[in-house]
Amino acid sequence: MKQRRCKEYVGVACVDGECPAARMEEFEERGIPIVKNCRDCFYFKGCEDCALKGTEYCERGAEDNGKEKEV
């Protein structure tokens, strides 16, 4: 079962300053795995950590309460 990543997904790491793509140089110096593609981000937790969950901007909408669908 693979989770589908929302087109409008905004995870906590995307906005709290922990984004590995944005901090690539620092992460390289510390030997932390580098993520160049957001699809491969190890911080991704689906709806659980999406800043848009439960808001009017959530593409899943209120009908399924922001639950991830299987692909």
Beta bridge partners of 3: 70
Kindly state whether residue 55 falls inside one of the protein's structural domains.
Answer: yes
pLDDT, tens digit (0-9, with 9 covering 90-100), for 35-68:
888 888 888 998 999 999 989 999 876 545 444 4
Identify the domain containing residue 26 by its residue range.
12-64
- pTM of the predicted protein model: 0.62
Kindly state whether residue 36 falls inside one of the protein's structural domains.
Answer: yes
Kindly state whether residue 2 falls inside one of the protein's structural domains.
Answer: no
Residue 6: which residues within 8 A CB-CB, separation 6 or more? 47, 50, 52, 58, 59, 60
Least confident of 20-24, 29-33, 42-46, 58-62: 58-62
User: Which of 46, 40, 45 shows the shortest CA–CA distance to 21?
Assistant: 40
Q: Which residue has the higher pLDDT, 57 or 33?
A: 57
User: Which of 64, 4, 11, 59 shows the shortest CA–CA distance to 35?
Assistant: 11
- HSE-up of 14 (CA within 13 Å, CB side)? 15
Give pLDDT, residue 2.
Answer: 58
